[in-house]
Amino acid sequence: MELVVSLAIGVLAGSGVWLLLRPRTFQLIVGLALLSYAVNLFIFSTGGLRSGAAAILSPGETGTLGAYADPLPQALVLTAIVIGFATTALLLVVLLAARGLTGTDHVDGRERER
């Protein structure tokens, strides 16, 4: 399971960086989104990949902490998802406004000469 998650993080991060280096603004936004998904998945995986483990201890319950999931990375990822969604929506509005003003969606505002 850890190998699959590690490969998913690597593919998402690599694709995100590749799209960040593209000349069009929409590809840049998609690259930022993929990179944020990779970081979220990485943070989520640091909490431990346990299936069926409780995140919160019951009152008066004792036992080894290895049997429980860490809720802090889950809370951080949930917050990052909300912030990432709002940032992506804002970037898309700025993209549409810039496209309307300049007539192009290139990062530098100029079409490449052919």
Question: Which neighbouring-strand residues pair with 24?
Answer: 106
Please check whether residue 65 lies inside any domain of the structure.
no
Q: Range of 83's domain?
A: 2-49+72-102
pLDDT at residue number 20? 92
Per-residue pLDDT tens for 83-96?
999 999 999 999 89
| pLDDT tens per residue across span 1-40 | 789 989 999 999 999 999 999 888 889 999 999 999 999 9
Instruction: Tell me if 37 is assigned to some domain.
Output: yes
pTM over 0.85: no
Span 45-83, pLDDT tens digits: 887 666 666 666 677 766 666 666 777 888 889 999 999
DSSP string, 1-12: -HHHHHHHHHHH
Q: Within a domain: residue 109?
A: no
